[in-house]
Structure 1
């Protein structure tokens, strides 16, 4: 989490109502979820908004609209959400959709926004308002993913993903990466969280703010580890007194990310345990986030740090990548071996079916070759083009019909799809 997300999370619990003692039961909450074309509000666009208004444990209204992003939806996003370019072509554009949503939410004095991983959704909504040159209402917001870490133990739920918490709390709607369905599931998760907060004596927004502002003594005493770091991409390594790596991470901003480990925004028990053992911090600055991610994967695979969950499963993880040859092709591989900053790659995927769907999606939007043999000058003399050439879905580099220079445009398209 960077410093902007950290401040957003803390400010989420700063009362904006005239009566800060207003009970959680009396408060009107608007649970919102967005679908987008990517992970960054600086470069991606909203494709769907879903929201559910609740008060006193009851649903009092719902809102849903597709949004025309005015740009192609990446194939990965279509595979994930099911939202296609055809579905949004006649949908409202951003301005109309945002104004309708804000009208549904109402005044910032009357409603509190709720979202799962709220900095993501709120970040996109704020960016949309900025793009439209309208003022963002000073909405107070709550993050169910963050609050859940206080009230749900690791034994009860292995993580705080929406799908996991929906199952744990018995949500009536299964999250499916569509905005309204995910918002409905988040409502059930939120109500389950509120029930648990009661056992902690949390009844009002002010009490929730106090409950969520806990910083451990270890976090306070180790804060010096975050001093003097650069605002650049890189890898960071927490080490114990013997120099053994405890935890390895990657980030776009070393200074902001490492600082977040020593704030109330960091609520994970295993990370608190790690911080209590940490004695030093090493960083590796990189030119790009992709380089940082590759270095992180290799280091985790090599060092197997005890507090990195993914280190236990790194060798089994499935990735898709471009092969290194004159005419590269897409393959699915296990583990981080062979991934580098120059190759197109993405993952991890949960299984072969998921990685195969991702590869098929890339086949649909590029003319990258689908055959397996390595293409050489010798092989071109005896090869025959497949049906894809007749269908104009492949340039037939196997018979020399397409040059390396021409084929490189397909490779570039794959890079853009995987890395953007």
Structure 2
């Protein structure tokens, strides 16, 4: 299994990778990447990577990360990431199309633990009490614990996967990662944390407005809203 996390210049189509972390067995890799575009302050405020830090870094095509991914990108390897579709889309912008199976720990967490209040990596860190073991785990891997650092996040993704493997086997996690997840609760808005099925019965107009107005809606949330609207 290959655990991967990226830090980027933003979330739009035009944005690019500015750091990459990989964990393969006991081997760890981190590299700053010159995205060849400005890193906006909003992005730096999250991952603490500045334009000065990447000014002398290699572009992705010239990076060791590109060579490493090329060697790891085989049908036998499984890529594990939190919000894998985003990571895969960022890699595709750099000419990397993953050849193996994929496990999305975000989608699997939503599917197997559908009553949680949140599913971000940092939320799961506390909800699943990963912090109890993270000191030992991070020390064993020689990784510094720094939230929103690509290598640190890749290791937390590994810890989330180990928790998920108590709920489902690898084949099931791969299958979930390829499918739509039917969410039970609305994560935001005036009905935040309320069951979507109940909202569809009481205020379907609100859900229809969300589907039509929120352009960057999570694909599983859109699928879930449309599902319950059809059932109502």
Q: If the length of structure 2 is used for normalisation, what is the TM-score?
A: 0.72
- Distance in 1 between residues matched to 2:161 and 2:8, nearest whole Å: 22
What is the CA deviation profile of residues 33-90 of structure 1, one whole-angstrom value per residue up to 9, with x for unaligned ones? 11111102x301110000112xxxxx42111100011222101111111101111111
Does residue 167 in structure 1 map to residue 131 in structure 2? no
Report the number of matched residues.
201
Match of 2:215 among 245, 252, 260: 252
Match of 2:10 among 26, 34, 38: 38
Match of 2:228 among 269, 275, 298: 275
Unaligned runs of 5+ in 1: 1-28, 54-58, 130-134, 198-202, 217-237, 280-420
Query: 2:88–2:97: 8 Å Cα contact kept in structure 1?
Result: no
Structure 2 residue matching 1:245: 3-state secondary structure: helix
Structure 1 residue matching 2:103: 3-state secondary structure: strand
Query: 2:4–2:154: 8 Å Cα contact kept in structure 1?
Result: yes
Match of 1:196 among 167, 185, 193: 167
Query: 2:3–2:79: 8 Å Cα contact kept in structure 1?
Result: yes
The change in CA–CA distance for 1:164 and 1:113 in structure 2 (over 3 A counts) is: same
Correspondence 1:153-164 to 2 at 5 A: 153-154=114-115, 157-164=116-123
Once the two structures are TM-superposed, the CA of residue 142 in structure 1 deviates from its matched residue by 1.3
Query: 1:47–1:66: 8 Å Cα contact kept in structure 2?
Result: yes
Equivalent residue number for residue 35 of structure 2: 69
What is the CA deviation profile of residues 150-201 of structure 1, one whole-angstrom value per residue up to 9, with x for unaligned ones? 22242xx31111111112331416561111111111110111111222xxxx
Correspondence 1:68-87 to 2 at 5 A: 68-87=34-53
Report 1 or 2 for greater relative contact order, CA contacts < 8 Å, sequence distance ≥ 6: 2
Correspondence 1:206-221 to 2 at 5 A: 208-209=174-175
Once the two structures are TM-superposed, the CA of residue 243 in structure 1 deviates from its matched residue by 6.0
Query: 1:118–1:141: 8 Å Cα contact kept in structure 2?
Result: yes
Q: If the length of structure 1 is used for normalisation, what is the TM-score?
A: 0.42
Structure 1 residue matching 2:53: 3-state secondary structure: helix
The change in CA–CA distance for 1:258 and 1:65 in structure 2 (over 3 A counts) is: closer
Query: 1:162–1:175: 8 Å Cα contact kept in structure 2?
Result: no
The change in CA–CA distance for 1:83 and 1:152 in structure 2 (over 3 A counts) is: same
Does residue 118 in structure 1 map to residue 90 in structure 2? no
- Distance in 1 between residues matched to 2:44 and 2:173, nearest whole Å: 41
Query: 2:82–2:105: 8 Å Cα contact kept in structure 1?
Result: yes
Unaligned runs of 5+ in 2: 139-144, 183-197
The change in CA–CA distance for 1:38 and 1:181 in structure 2 (over 3 A counts) is: same
Equivalent residue number for residue 145 of structure 1: 106
Structure 2 residue matching 1:195: 3-state secondary structure: coil
RMSD: 3.4
- Distance in 2 between residues matched to 1:190 and 1:160, nearest whole Å: 13
Query: 1:251–1:257: 8 Å Cα contact kept in structure 2?
Result: no
